[in-house]
Amino acid sequence: MSKPVIALQLYTVRDFLATPADVAKTLARLKKIGYDAVEGSVGCMAAAEFRKLALDNGITPIGAGTGFDQLRGDLKKLIAHCHGLGVKYVMLGGIPRNQWIAEWKKLPKELDGYAARLAKEGVTLQYHNHMFEFEKIGVKKGAGGKTILDLLYANTKHIQAELDFGWIARGGHNPVAWAKKLKGRLDQVHIKDWGVINDQPAWRAVGEGGIVWPEVFKACKASGTKCYIVEQDGWPVTNDPFLSVAVSRKNIKAFGLG
């Protein structure tokens, strides 16, 4: 098996991507920290322009992002964007909870249809979970039911998972169990940690919270994961996204992942 890719989700450094000059500076900083790949694109540059700039800085784009409205409204534009970035994966960053609750019987089939169409263009559609997808539907007298995420993957075959282990832990579930459950459908994953600050749950750099990462990485490897993407929604301890992702990168290496 080839060496796993360690990437960064650009949302983490969203405040440092306003202009092409900012993007170039940010990519150079990420490369110096130890990241060789990124997920996402930037609003100030066309996809192909961003790809060239990233490659010039020694960083490879490995995935795009999309919203549900774009899947429903302009799939051709999304495909062109992915081809411009030169990526084979596109991540759907979730569907609102209320929509899932109202449409859970038909959404999996609809999403799988988009995934099948994208696959014909060489692009794999992934679903990125947050916490609410671990809410159960079909609970009777306080028991039973299935989580939204279980319903999604039980009723699809083309769509892949881009599990976010930080949100899995915050949703009260076991990251290792979910990594094992989606074997063969887990090419890329999001990694972030969480702990407690001032008696409240708070995001932490990978390895600085409560998730047992060696066990997670072992399960991911067995499930076929190729790319581990660091994402920090916030950085309340450091107040500096670059310092936070540097801590994550150092800890990932110490865990022996790469």
Contact 129, 93 (CB under 8 A): no
Q: Going residue by residue through the chain, which has 258 residues, state the pLDDT in tens, using 9 for 90 and above.
A: 478 999 999 999 999 999 999 999 999 999 999 999 999 999 999 999 999 999 999 999 999 999 999 999 999 999 999 999 999 999 999 999 999 999 999 999 999 999 999 999 999 999 999 999 999 999 999 999 999 999 999 999 999 999 999 999 999 999 999 999 999 999 999 999 999 999 999 999 999 999 999 999 999 999 999 999 999 999 999 999 999 999 999 999 999 998
Domain boundaries, the chain: 5-254
Segment (H or E) for 191: strand 188-191
Selection from 122, 151, 156, 119 nearest residue 135 by Cα = 151
Segment (H or E) for 234: none
Q: What is the DSSP string of 108-147?
A: HHHHHHHHHHHHTTT-EEEEE--SGGGSEES-BTTB--EE
The angle subtended at Cα 98 by Cα 93 and Cα 99, nearest 5°, is 65
The angle subtended at Cα 20 by Cα 121 and Cα 68, nearest 5°, is 40
Selection from 168, 184, 166, 254 nearest residue 222 by Cα = 184
Q: Tell me the three state secondary structure of residue 77.
A: helix
Residue ranges of the alpha helices (H) in the chain? 20-33, 47-56, 68-73, 75-85, 97-103, 107-119, 148-154, 165-170, 175-181, 213-223, 241-254
Place of tokens 């890719």: 5
Note the pTM of the prediction, 2 decimals.
0.97
Segment (H or E) for 184: none
Contact 159, 187 (CB under 8 A): no
| Homologous superfamily of domain range 5-254 | Divalent-metal-dependent TIM barrel enzymes (3.20.20.150)
pLDDT at residue number 138: 95
Selection from 248, 99, 102, 95 nearest residue 165 by Cα = 248
pLDDT at residue number 2: 78
